[in-house]
Amino acid sequence: MSSHESNYQPTTRFGKWLDERLPVNRLVYDQLVAFPTPRNLNYLWTFGGILALCLVVQLITGIVLAMHYQPSGEEAFNSLDHIRRNVNYGWLIQPMHAVGASMFFLAAYIHLFRGLYYGSYKAPREILWILGVFIILAMMATAFMGYSLPWGQMSFWAVTVITNLFSSLDSIIPGMGTAIVEWLWGGYSVSGTTLNRFFSLHYLLPFVIAGLVILHIWALHVVGQNNPAGLDIKSDSDWVPMYPYAVSKDVVGMFAFLLIFAWFMFFLPDYLGHADNFVEADPLVTPPHIVPEWYFLPFYAILRAIPSKLGGVIAMFSSILVLVFIPWLDTARVRSAKYRPIFKWFFWLFVITCIALGYLGALPAEEPYVTYARLFTAYYFAFFLIIMPIVGIIETPKKLPGSITEDVLGPGGGKGASAGAAAAPEKR
Amino acid sequence: MSSHAEEPNRRDFIVLAGSAFAAVGAAISLWPFIQQMNPDSSALALASVEVDLSPVASGQAITVMWRGKPVFIRNRTEEEVKAAKDFPVADLPDEVARNANVAADATATDENRTLPGHENWLIAIGICTHLGCIPKGQKIGDERGDFGGWFCPCHGSHYDTAGRIRKGPAPRNLDIPPYAFVSDTQIKIG
Ligand code: HEM
Ligand code: FES
């Protein structure tokens, strides 16, 4: 934690010289080596590191793709073909980026549900949580613009449909929505001009994400990590230093994740995409069935569940923005759902709701699916706006362990265990 | 000094005026950077196209491009015109004509959706007013929806033979672009 004294000792003369001028080594040592992590963390806590890895993968593969990609209406589609067929290792790097986007969202959603279950959004982690919501939003904008770049039929029509969402503002101030949409397009329809600016922004946004990630980690290192018991670190036996404990666990998680990543990348590189995107963008023909990428499906289902155009747009954006307010909507006194017998059930129902909305989002907007989508949308919002405040008040939490140490070793456990031994495992 | 803390002094005034000046300056310098994203002069230049209608027989349809948008041109049969005329305007979800060639508040009668003397020609921008897909119904064998006009597959909007929304999420009738007959078989759009 920030209150911890730094005990970094430069070992070389150069290290000492540098430490007096720019203490980067001290920063890394304090924040990534000696940083106290609760000793009861499970594998769900490895996803933060996995997400950092994902961002690095997207940045490196993206910068490489941009060396061969042509952001123009005439060339974009063919240049992607060129990347996959002619560019050395393009067959590897292009799917790494495309599959990487999906894996990035998979990790982010697991990370987010982890936070929801263990109450990681509750005081003092509100800012940390809200920064996370901003990161998800920025990721969505990035992925949306990235998806336009292959300039296939799905790319083109996804851009058309999503940018047109803003035209719903015409029903508040006539003409305003249309003006915004034409401003986004740079014309009277989606065209190569639109593609070109989306490419520019697609290059920019990941660096904005990187900035947000730095703030997110900074906030984390000020308040410290939450943990499965939802307790604070109280004594030295409650924590272990980040290196080697958390780091080695993170590496195990990363490799498991990379196995799944590699499976898709090598064997099913286009499985998560759509066949229609192998047809070049045609402004005169809409594909019979427009579906977004899987990670947007629940939100797309919410959009279509509301019968009014503006209402649907508002509901869709609110479904993410509501997350900003949950630190104050949740009235419970304990953090972790492990000790919340009633909330736990509602939580799993919420997980099922999100999966069901995702499933419905891929189906045509017909009965009976629309009715189901409405029911699940209602639960989605009720979970945050009604269940969180009420259940927190009426529920009696189960007895919490006395400390993080007791959570691991049982009641009365941990006597005699010393942080010193944990801090220097190689000397035991 | 502290006793006068609440009294605004000359320094407070200078700070306030200076910051206001900087804020206005920043807002003004932002303008070109926002404006550059709007449709440029080359997009505005594509303002009009001429179309020869003589090859389009009754019951047939063609699609032309105008400002990067598809324009549906359909030579409607007598039954199609009658079907559109017979439907009461008061029962339409959108009662406004949406025709750039008539008054902005004109009602969506079939007459107001076409040009006088050329009522068999329905000329509309072929972009669904919901979220911008291209409705089906121009090609032979296309699904034309429940009212014989156009059908948007994206979220299921049905348009009638006058391009008016009848069923589904689209809020407005298909827009009619500005156009005029330059001869009996020639139109100019834009
Ligand atoms: C937050 C990180 C990022 C995400 C979530 C992301 C997402 C995406 C997605 C979904 C696609 C479409 C892939 C396809 O269907 O083939 C794409 C394409 C692309 N991205 Fe990214 N991207 C990220 C970072 C970057 C960066 C840093 C660059 C560097 C300029 C970049 C450059 C490109 C290029 C050139 C394409 C077109 C080639 C292709 O489609 O594979 N991306 N991106
Ligand atoms: S875009 Fe046509 S119904 Fe939605």
pLDDT tens sequence across B91-149: 999 999 999 999 988 999 999 999 998 999 999 999 999 889 999 999 888 889 999 99
Q: Both ends of chain B: CA-CA distance in Å?
A: 69
Residue B1: band (very low, low, confident or very high) from pLDDT cuts 50, 70, 90: very low
Share of chain A above pLDDT 90, in %: 85
Q: Determine whether the interchain pair B133/A290 forms a contact, defined as Cβ–Cβ distance below 8 Å.
A: yes
* pLDDT of amino acid A182: 94
User: CATH code at B71?
Assistant: 2.102.10.10
Residues B23 and B110 in one domain: no
Share of chain A above pLDDT 70, in %: 95
Half-sphere exposure of A331 toward its Cβ, with a 13 Å CA cutoff? 13
| CA distance to A163, B76, B164, per residue, from B131 (Å) | 8, 26, 16
Domains identified in chain A and CATH numbers: 29-302 (1.20.810.10)
Same domain, B102 and B25: no
Domain presence at residue B16: yes
Indicate whether B167 belongs to any domain. yes
Is the Cβ pair A188, B68 closer than 8 Å? yes
Kindly report the backbone phi and psi dihedral angles of residue A331, in degrees, each rounded to the nearest multiple of 5, phi listed first. -95, 5
| Cα-to-centroid distance, B49 and ligand 2 (Å) | 27
> Is residue A420 over pLDDT 60?
no
The answer on pLDDT for A103 being more than 60 is: yes
- The pLDDT score that the predictor gives to residue A422 is 52
Residue B45 is predicted with a pLDDT of 73
Please check whether residue B70 lies inside any domain of the structure: yes
Return mean pLDDT, chain B. 90
User: Which residues of chain A make contact with B152, given a CB cutoff of 8 A?
Assistant: 286
- Judge whether B116 lies within some domain: yes
Q: Are residues B16 and B67 in the same domain?
A: no
Residues B177 and B129 grouped into a single domain:
yes
Residue among B5, B67, B36 at smallest CA distance from A190: B67
Q: pTM score, two decimals?
A: 0.88
Verify that B48 and B34 share a domain, yes or no: no
Looking at the structure, do residues B50 and B68 belong to the same domain, yes or no? yes
Reported as a single tens digit per residue, the pLDDT across A354-369 is: 999 999 999 987 789 9
Whether B111 and B55 map to the same domain: the answer is: yes
Pair B18, B59 in one domain: no
Residue B83 lies in a domain: yes
Burial string for A106-138 (b: 16+ CB within 10 Å, else e) reads bbbebbbbbbbbbbbbbeebbbbbbbbbebbbb
Name every residue whose Cβ is closer than 8 Å to that of residue B69 and which is 6 or more positions away in sequence: A188, A189, B125, B126, B127
Write down the residue that tokens 């007895």 correspond to. A399
Q: Which of A169, A158, A108 is CA-nearest to residue A134? A: A108
- In chain B, the number of structural domains is 2
Which residues does chain B have within 8 Å of residue A286's beta carbon, measured at their own beta carbons?
A: 133-135, 152-154
Residue B14 located in a structural domain: yes
Q: Cα(A45)–Cα(A50) distance, rounded to whole angstroms?
A: 9
Confidence of residue A5 (pLDDT cuts 50, 70, 90): confident
Structural domain of residue B154, as residue ranges? Answer: 44-189
pLDDT digit string, tens, across residues A193-215:
999 999 999 999 999 999 999 99
- Tell me if B106 is assigned to some domain: yes
- In which band, very low, low, confident or very high, does the pLDDT at A1 lie, cut at 50, 70 and 90? very low
pLDDT in tens, A18-29: 999 999 999 999
Where b means 16+ CB within 10 Å and e means fewer, A300-315 reads: bbbbbbbeebbebbeb
Whether B30 and B93 share a structural domain: no
Residue B149 sits in the same domain as residue B72: yes
| pLDDT per residue as tens digits for the range B148-175 | 999 998 888 999 999 999 988 888 999 9
DSSP lists the bridge partners of residue B188 as B50, B180
The rounded distance, in Å, linking the Cα atoms of A135 and A139 is 6
Q: Is the pLDDT of residue A224 over 80?
A: yes
Confidence at residue A121, expressed as pLDDT on a 0 to 100 scale: 97
Is residue B34 domain-shared with residue B48, that is, in the same domain?
A: no
B62 and B128 belong to one structural domain: yes
**ipTM score of the complex?**
0.81
B5 band by pLDDT with thresholds 50, 70 and 90: low
Q: What is the pLDDT of residue A428?
A: 47
Measure CB to CB from residue A187 to each of B39, B131, B132 and give the nearest one. B39
- In 10 A of CB B132, how many CB atoms? 23
Structure tokens at A427: 């000397």
Searching chain A, which residue's CA lies closest to the CA of residue B167?
A: A307
* B185 domain residue, yes or no: yes
pLDDT, residue B75, reads 94
